[in-house]
Structure 1
Amino acid sequence: MLDTIWVFHGEGGRFSSGVFTSIEKAEIWIYKHKLSGVLTAYPIDEGVYDWALFNDFFNVKKQAQM
């Protein structure tokens, strides 16, 4: 069962260009099409903020971040 997906957002694009089940598949596709942009892992069935807090990828420093 997948717990994350990989989302590619092309440089200058308004919307995501591709969604992949593995980083390997994403990188092959990006290389094949000679693209540049940002490739990000996102959790499935969970908010990114909650996921980042749970995995210690983000620490709350200000009241407004809660």
Structure 2
Amino acid sequence: MRRRPSADQRDPLRPAVWLFHGEHARHASGVFDTLDAGLAWAAEHQVTGILAEYPYGGAYDVAVSEGRFTPSKAHHGTADHVAAFSPGLRHVHLTGGRPDQ
């Protein structure tokens, strides 16, 4: 299920960070408090990958509590599902430190 958060589902008071995950990396290589800070870092280092917004807390739990995901299958909420869950918030694809057009 792929849904973008609607304006009413983006809680302005929900704290979030921006994680950079390199194109072929196993782990995130940067954490930023704002999108602009992440974009500046990416431009400085000319990296390729995804800069994605993550809520504080578990991505699965936050998505369920905000109504962006509704468990509907037996495997929803299992350890494997929760561990692989993407927050489904804003993200930017970057190539050579620049946002893809």
| Cα 1:27–1:43 shift into 2, 3 Å | same
> Distance between the aligned counterparts of 2:46 and 2:68, measured in 1?
30
Identity fraction in percent: 34
Dislocated runs of 4+, deviation >2 Å = none
Output the CA distance in 2 between the equivalents of 1:22 and 1:48. 18
Partner of 1:62: 73
For residues 2 and 49 of structure 1, do their structure 2 counterparts lie closer, same or farther at Cα, with a shift above 3 Å needed? closer
Q: Which residue of 2 aligns with 1:4?
A: 16
Residue correspondences, number: 65
- The equivalent residue for 2:44 is 32
In the alignment, structure 1 residue 18 sits paired with structure 2 residue 16: no
Contact persistence 1:2–1:21 (CA under 8 A): no
Tell me how far 1:38 sits from its aligned partner. Answer: 1.4
Q: Which runs of 5+ in 1 are unaligned?
A: none
Q: Deviations over 1:18-52 (max 9, x none)?
A: 000001100111122111111121222x2110101
Looking at secondary structure, tell me which structure has more helix per residue: 1
* Residue identity opposite 1:59 in structure 2: T
Q: Distance in 2 between matches of 1:57 and 1:2?
A: 14
